[in-house]
Amino acid sequence: MPGVATDKLQTIAYPAAGARPHRRDAESLEPHVIVLFGATGDLAKRKLLPGLAYLEESALAPDIRLVATSLENYTGEQFLAIAREAVDGFGSRKLSDEQWAHFAERVTYVPQGAGPQALADAVIAAERLLGDDVRRLHYLSVPPKAAQSVITMLKDANLVDRSRVVMEKPFGTDLASAIELNDFVHDTFSEEQIFRIDHFLGKEAAQNILAFRFANGLFEPIWNRNFIDHIQIDIPEKLGLDARANFYESTGAYKDMVVTHLFQVMAFVVMEPPTALEPRAISEEKNKVFRSMLPVDTADVVRGQYTGYREEDGVARDSDTETFIALKVGIDNWRWAGVPIYLRTGKKMAEGQRIISIAFKEAPRTMFPPGSGVGSEGPDHLTFDLADESKVSLSFYGKRPGPGMKLDKLSMQFSTQETDSVGDVLEAYERLILDAMRGDHTLFTTAEGIESLWERSAQLLEDPPPVKSYPVGTWGPNAIHQLIAPNAWRLPFERAWREKKSAT
Ligand code: BG6
């Protein structure tokens, strides 16, 4: 889609130094020591360190101190240099020297190799500086195998009390390993303390799906198989592997994106109304969706690998890992039986987009004269764009001005960037770290939900169809068209999103 920078956050200014309201006034949250494992990794650099620096500076978070740790044997200064570069390079908001110094004072680095006691000492020292009733938030930004040794370390360091733990996906790689991982974690932490993060659910636009569906009488009566023809959740990425070949080779698009992000977003789109917007009620409804999902049938799956993937550093020359996947799933319940849901995601594709598209059933066309154009551009669609500038659009046929009855596909669009609250948008990780500090599980994933998804993925994991190659910069292997026929992929868009007009 031309002209839409979906990978770019708005630049939002930090609150001016000194202008920060007293934190406890906003919400009484206990001060927190955040222990960040994997503090020099890709995710920490791109999202977590910039996000924590912003939260520390904003009025939203309580007083925090960061104990950063990783396998690297860095000194405190070396780590801070890396962290500053990350915050400056990847943060969407600019940080003054004074603001950086304020944040840096609150950071300690401990190499993981220094052992549990050194980590405990650093946490206790940070807690003393924060006063009473300090809580701990352990952020495990590490691969699944490393998560187990980190949990053992936290137990050995006696850091489980008063703590919550944020875990990164993948949560296992199949049903057996997910159960094993969940059992292992439950030996140390109770489910209450565990926050399995799916950053897609932290995106403003994903939460807007809930607001849109459940706060409006207009769409509620038509949100079912009688009116909706099919649904697409399409998340192509232009990005490649960056430095993540090691992680990606053993994960692939299905485990990296579909189980964690696409299915979770799908649950927001199709779930029954929860009795309240609170964690237990929402998890219950999401888990019902996963239980009603038909097992993924390999005949409905296209796996792809971009040309040149096997030549990438860290990738096996005969790798069978998919860098692309498209699939059709069904939810076998009263609301959705017979409505196909198409999912697609992949690396090094033509565009970076994150859309959910709801296609409505078509109206009879007979009353319109031949050549009027009715129906010629597909059905009416409701489209959610999960970009940081969250957007919603409704497309429909309308009359082209002038003589006769010619129809054009028109659209009504909404974008957060056109509102006055655009500056309040929180980056997904910021929102979710705050929620975890508040103990709010609403946007996190449960052990039960993940296990049902692995169960429904068993056939695909055991007997995946062969990967088909696709050229870099395309929409995937040709087989994607057969998969969706007689429907068609919405992307690339025929009509661009309306761009914000600058004020004149
Ligand atoms: C991550 C995946 O969870 O999500 C990455 O591991 C992917 O492979 C990323 O690129 C996409 O997230 P976003 O927010 O940039 O769309």
Residues 313 and 398 in one domain: yes
- Identify whether 261 is a catalytic site residue: yes
Residues 96 and 221 in one domain: no
Residues 110 and 230 in one domain: no
The answer to whether residue 191 sits within a structural domain is no
44 is in an annotated binding site: yes
Whole-number Å distance, alpha carbon 74 to ligand 1 midpoint, is: 27
Whole-number Å distance, alpha carbon 323 to ligand 1 midpoint, is: 13
The answer to whether residue 303 sits within a structural domain is yes
Residues 247 and 146 in one domain: no
pLDDT mean over 442-464: 95
Q: Which residues pair with 385 in a beta bridge?
A: 355, 391
The answer to whether residue 387 sits within a structural domain is yes
Q: Which residues pair with 397 in a beta bridge?
A: 409
Separation of alpha carbons 132 and 452, rounded Å = 41
* Helix-then-strand count for the chain, H and E: 17, 15
Q: What is the mean pLDDT of the chain?
A: 92
3-state secondary structure of 65: strand
- CATH number for the domain harbouring residue 490: 3.30.360.10
**Domains identified in the chain, total number:** 2
pLDDT band at 501 (very low <50, low <70, confident <90, very high): low
Tell which residue, 179, 245, 174, has the closest CA to residue 464: 174
Report whether residue 204 contacts ligand 1, using a CB cutoff of 6 Å: no
Res 11 pLDDT > 80? no
Separation of alpha carbons 448 and 120, rounded Å = 32
Res 274 pLDDT > 60? yes
Please check whether residue 31 is in contact with residue 55, taking contact to mean a CB–CB distance below 8 angstroms: no
Res 259 pLDDT > 50? yes
Report whether residue 427 contacts ligand 1, using a CB cutoff of 6 Å: no
At residue 351, φ and ψ (nearest 5 deg) are -145, 160
pLDDT digit string, tens, across residues 383-407: 999 987 789 999 999 999 999 999 9
pLDDT band at 500 (very low <50, low <70, confident <90, very high): low
Q: What is the pLDDT of residue 9?
A: 34
Res 331 pLDDT > 90? yes
Residues 44 and 90 in one domain: yes
Q: What is the pLDDT of residue 4?
A: 34
Residues 245 and 164 in one domain: no
Full residue range of the structural domain in which residue 310 is found:
203-424+459-494
Catalytic residue among 32, 138, 230, 261: 261
Of 143, 168, 193, which residue constitutes the final position of a domain? Answer: 168
| DSSP 8-state assignment for residue 307 | T
Report whether residue 237 contacts ligand 1, using a CB cutoff of 6 Å: yes
Residues 94 and 159 in one domain: yes
Q: What is the CA radius of gyration of the chain?
A: 24
Q: Which long-range contacts (CB under 8 A, 24 or more apart) does 5-8 make?
A: 6/352, 6/353, 6/354, 6/385, 6/387, 6/388, 7/238, 7/352, 8/92, 8/388
pLDDT band at 18 (very low <50, low <70, confident <90, very high): very low
Separation of alpha carbons 416 and 313, rounded Å = 40
Report whether residue 47 contacts ligand 1, using a CB cutoff of 6 Å: no
Please check whether residue 447 is in contact with residue 191, taking contact to mean a CB–CB distance below 8 angstroms: yes
Look up residue 423 and give its amino acid: G
Separation of alpha carbons 476 and 2, rounded Å = 19
The answer to whether residue 430 sits within a structural domain is no
Res 242 pLDDT > 90? no
Separation of alpha carbons 204 and 186, rounded Å = 30
Please check whether residue 79 is in contact with residue 40, taking contact to mean a CB–CB distance below 8 angstroms: yes
The answer to whether residue 111 sits within a structural domain is yes
| DSSP 8-state assignment for residue 294 | P
pLDDT digit string, tens, across residues 192-234: 999 999 999 999 899 999 999 999 999 999 999 999 999 999 9
Whole-number Å distance, alpha carbon 19 to ligand 1 midpoint, is: 34
Residues 116 and 249 in one domain: no
Structure-block tokens of residue 135: 């809580």
The answer to whether residue 439 sits within a structural domain is no
Q: pTM here?
A: 0.91
pLDDT band at 422 (very low <50, low <70, confident <90, very high): confident
pLDDT digit string, tens, across residues 480-496: 999 999 999 999 987 77
| Pairwise pLDDT comparison (95 vs 20), residue with the higher score | 95
Structure-block tokens of residue 150: 């980190």
The answer to whether residue 420 sits within a structural domain is yes
CA 471 to chain centre: 26
The answer to whether residue 258 sits within a structural domain is yes
| Residues, the chain | 504
Q: What is the pLDDT of residue 503?
A: 53
Q: What is the pLDDT of residue 423?
A: 82
E strand or H helix at 329: strand 324-329
**Which of 47, 196, 261, 432 is the pocket-test mutation for ligand 1 (most atoms within 8 Å of CB)?**
261
